[in-house]
Amino acid sequence: MNNASIGMPPAVVVQAVADGYRAQSEDPIHAKHQLQASIRDQVLPRLGQFFGTLPSELTLTRNASMALHIQAVGLDIRRGDEVIITSQEHPAGRAPWSYRSLREGISIKEIHIPSPLPPGEDILARFEAARTPKTRAISFCQVTRGGHLYPVKELCTWARERGIISLVDGAQAVGQFSVDLKNLGCDAYAASLHKWTLAPCGTGFMYINQASADQFRSIFSADPDTIVYGAPGTADLPVRAGIGSALAFVESIGLDRVEARCRHLSDYLKDRLSNEDGVTLLSGTRHQSAPGSTIFEVASVDALVAVDRLAQSNLHIDEHQRDGHNAIRISTHFYNTKTEIDNAVDHLLSIRGTMHST
């Protein structure tokens, strides 16, 4: 029940990775070429289909953090330019901007977004209030670490109409529900594939809209004729090739069915919580929350301690001691059950009063 941190890849994915490493140990060069071909001819086109992009607009990375770094540090802006981010960014979305601020004097404006989430118009109004003639880019999550769903399409449209570049952190979005990047309208997008998409650990991608490619420099090469965004050198080919099996697995179930099941389970959790005294639900409506992640506070339960206590019973949840909360995060995928949810909630309620809240 901590899928927002890392998912459980199915056996076919584990097998694909093992097969890749076995092939490499038996015949390294031949296997290297075969795996490279499979990534080029199968994984990237399939990813492109999955996210509504051209394969050439995608770069495989080790995770979302790496993608966020490559796109933010590569953005062609200079000292004095402003970038707007929000208070709910993950540290991985914040770090590259601190880097640019400290190293290059880019001005980073952080706008406060309350949790629970206010209506979409309120969020847009906060961006508008922070905008100045120097604002060159906005950078924000599609789904926050706590599972709040930002009005991404509206924000990207708002940005485009003002000549502002939009960079979206999709680490918590992809694999929970369908994401069509052209429809979303962002200039750049970063994703993890080892969370909700159930791909091997250490997989993610970066998308740069081809129409916006002139705004993003490669951080690895200064050659203007061949813009390659990804890190050079030998990659973890068996792991990357395993992405193909994860996509095939998710497609065989159907992403719409994954979303419906995730929503069904989180609705069940929310219903259960709403009947308990001393529990404050922080996740919003369907339009404001991701299908699978729910955050809530339990009076007199310290979230950090609770995570440890439940882990001792093999119940894995996470804390969300951020955004002003002492919250618990339960993030259920399609393979979780209502019994597991009941067990986790029962356990949380049973430890009330056995610790001091921080």
Ligand X SMILES: Cc1ncc(COP(=O)(O)O)c(C=O)c1O
- Contact residues toward ligand X (CB under 6 A) are 5, 63-65, 90, 92-93, 141, 144-145, 169, 171-172, 192, 204
Closer by beta carbon to ligand X, 141 or else 208: 141
CB of residue 139 vs ligand X: minimum separation in angstroms? 11
Query: How far is Cα of residue 346 from the mean position of the Cα atoms in its chain?
Result: 29
Reading the block at residue 326, the tokens are 């002492």
Closer by beta carbon to ligand X, 171 or else 295: 171
CB of residue 73 vs ligand X: minimum separation in angstroms? 15
| In contact, 191 and 174? CB cutoff 8 Å | yes
User: What CA–CA distance (Å, rounded) separates 7 from 333?
Assistant: 8
CB of residue 193 vs ligand X: minimum separation in angstroms? 8
CB of residue 53 vs ligand X: minimum separation in angstroms? 19
CB of residue 207 vs ligand X: minimum separation in angstroms? 15
Closer by beta carbon to ligand X, 156 or else 279: 156
Question: Measured in Å, how far apart are the chain's first and last C-alpha atoms?
Answer: 24
Closer by beta carbon to ligand X, 82 or else 169: 169
User: What CA–CA distance (Å, rounded) separates 155 from 178?
Assistant: 18
* Interhelix angle 303-311/338-350, nearest 10 degrees: 120
Sign of the dihedral through C-alpha 49, 53, 57, 62: negative
Closer by beta carbon to ligand X, 31 or else 137: 137
Query: How far is Cα of residue 126 from the mean position of the Cα atoms in its chain?
Result: 22
Closer by beta carbon to ligand X, 23 or else 168: 168
Residue 236: helix, strand or coil by DSSP? coil
CB of residue 30 vs ligand X: minimum separation in angstroms? 31
Closer by beta carbon to ligand X, 23 or else 139: 139
User: What CA–CA distance (Å, rounded) separates 301 from 156?
Assistant: 38
Reading the block at residue 178, the tokens are 């369908």
CB of residue 105 vs ligand X: minimum separation in angstroms? 25
| In contact, 67 and 91? CB cutoff 8 Å | no
> What is the DSSP secondary structure assignment for residue 316, as one 8-state letter?
-
